[in-house]
Structure 1
Amino acid sequence: MAPPAPARRPYHHGDLRRAILTAALDVVAADGPGAISLRDLARRAGVSHAAPAHHFKDRAGLLTAIAAEGYSLLADALAEVPAGTPDSLRELGVQYVRFALAHPAHFEVMHRPELLHRDDLEFVAARSLAWHRLRRGVESRAAAGRGPDLEQAVLAAWSLAHGYATLRLSGNIPGEGDPAEAFRALARLTFGEPGD
C-alpha cells in the first residue's frame, strides 16, 4: 500500500499588497508610472493575474496607494522639524528635498493627479496631513510678520522645494555636494535669514 500523498497546502503569499506595491515602485523607478501593468506585477509576485485587483481594483487604485504611501512618508519626514522655530520653514524644505531624493518613485506618482483616484479617502487624508505640516512652517513665519500673504508664501516655499527636488532628480542639477546644504542656500537667497 502506497503512503498517502501529502496534503496540498493552500497557496499563501504573505503580504501580497506590500509585494505588489514594492514591485510597482521598482517599475516606476525604472520605467515611469506609464509602465505599470497589474498583470505584469502579478506575474512578478507569482500570483494569478486577478490577485492584485483584490487590493487595488485597477491601475489607478494601485498608483493612488503609492501616492498615499508617499504622502504619509512625506508627512512623517516633515514632522521631524519642530514647529515655530526661526528656521522651520527652511528645514521643512530640506526634509521635502530629502524625501524626494530618497523616494523618487513615490515622488513621481504623487505629483501625477491625472493617474490617481483623487477622491480616495486614504490619499486625501495623507496628502492633507503632509500639506498641513508643510504649511505650519510658513504660518509661523507669517505670524511673526516676516512673510507675504500666507497662501502665496506656502506656494513659494513649496515651489522652491519641489522645483529643486525635481531638477535634482532629473539630473538638471549636478548631483555633487550635499543637497540639503544646497537647498538651505537657495532658501536663504529666496526668503532671507530666519530672523529677517
Structure 2
Amino acid sequence: MTGQPFHHGNLRAVLLEQAEVMLREGGLDGLSLRELARQAGVSHGAPRSHFVDRQALLDALAERGFARLTEEVRVALRGRAPLRTRFGRVAQAYVGFAIDDAALMELMFAAKTSERPGPARDAAEGLFGVLDEAMGPADADDSAGSRDQFKLMFGATMQGIAALVASRRISRPQGEALVDEATDMLLESRLGARAVSRR
C-alpha cells in the first residue's frame, strides 16, 4: 500500500486497511503507529491525528472487525430457509472469518472482554444481536439465560474449530465438516431446545 495516493478525508480508512494487512502478516506484536505510518507511506505523526495511541488503533480495528463479521452473518441469514440451514450458513460464515482473519478475531474478542466501554464493545453487542435474531423469537421467560448461554457456546465452539484450522491441526474441509456436525449437536442439545425458537 506504500505510495498509494489518498485524500486527507480517507486517511483513517487507509490506515485501518494497512493495519489489518500488518496484523494478518505479522500478528499483534508487529503493529505500531510508527510502523503503520511507514507502511502506509505517511509521516510518522500522521496516524496520531486519528488514533491517540496504539490502543485506540487496536480498538478501532476490533470495531471494524465486528462490523464486518456482523455484515457477513447478516448476508448468511438472507432469504427464507429452515432453521438448520440458516444456522449452518451463519456457522460457516463465522468460522470462515475466524480462519481467514485469526489475529483480528483474537483482537476483537480481547477488546470485547475489556473493562473499557466503547465502540468495540458496542459493535460486539451488535454481532450477538444478529445471532439472537437468527435464533427466532425469544420466550417471554428466559430466567436461566438460555439464549445468552447458547450464543456463548456457539461462539466458543466455532472459534475452537477455526483455531484448529488456522493452526493447521486439521484441514479446512475437515473444519467445515466439523462445523456442520457441531451445528447439529448444538441445535439438538437440551440447551438448544430451550434457547432456539422452533416456530
TM-score (norm 1): 0.75
Partners of 1:22 and 1:66 in 2: CA distance: 9
Please provide the CA RMSD for this pair.
Answer: 3.0
Structure 1 130/190 Cα, relative in aligned 2: closer, same or farther at 3 Å? closer
Structure 1 115/89 Cα, relative in aligned 2: closer, same or farther at 3 Å? closer
Unaligned residue ranges in structure 2 (runs of 5+): 140-144, 190-195
* Code of the aligned partner of 1:186: A
* Residue 187 (str. 1) matches residue 183 (str. 2): yes
Displacement after TM superposition at 1:132 (Å):
0.5
Q: How does 1:105-144 map to 2 (within 5 A)?
A: 105-113=103-111, 118-120=116-118, 122-138=119-135, 140=136, 143=139
Contact 1:142–1:149 under 8 Å retained in 2? no
Unaligned residue ranges in structure 1 (runs of 5+): 1-11
Structure 1 137/33 Cα, relative in aligned 2: closer, same or farther at 3 Å? same
Match of residue 193 from structure 2: none
Displacement after TM superposition at 1:113 (Å):
2.6
1:42 pairs with 37, 42, 51, which one?
37
Deviating runs (4+, > 6 A) in structure 1? 114-117
Displacement after TM superposition at 1:25 (Å):
1.5
Match of residue 164 from structure 1: 161
* Code of the aligned partner of 2:88: R
* Residue 152 (str. 1) matches residue 174 (str. 2): no
Partners of 1:55 and 1:123 in 2: CA distance: 16
* Code of the aligned partner of 2:151: V
Structure 1 68/134 Cα, relative in aligned 2: closer, same or farther at 3 Å? same
Structure 1 159/114 Cα, relative in aligned 2: closer, same or farther at 3 Å? closer
* Residue 58 (str. 1) matches residue 53 (str. 2): yes
Structure 1 155/141 Cα, relative in aligned 2: closer, same or farther at 3 Å? farther
Match of residue 96 from structure 1: 94
Match of residue 65 from structure 2: 70
Displacement after TM superposition at 1:96 (Å):
0.8
Contact 2:111–2:120 under 8 Å retained in 1? no
Question: 92-101 or 56-65, which moves further after superposition?
Answer: 92-101
Partners of 1:119 and 1:71 in 2: CA distance: 15
TM-score (norm 2): 0.74
* Code of the aligned partner of 1:29: R
Identity across matched positions, percent: 26
Helix, strand or coil: the match of 1:28? Answer: helix
Partners of 2:152 and 2:103 in 1: CA distance: 23
Contact 1:67–1:110 under 8 Å retained in 2? yes
Q: Which structure has more helix as a fraction of its residues?
A: 2
Residue correspondences, number: 177
Contact 1:65–1:123 under 8 Å retained in 2? yes
Larger-Rg structure: 1
Partners of 1:158 and 1:135 in 2: CA distance: 12
Helix, strand or coil: the match of 1:166? Answer: helix
Helix, strand or coil: the match of 1:52? Answer: helix
Match of residue 6 from structure 1: none
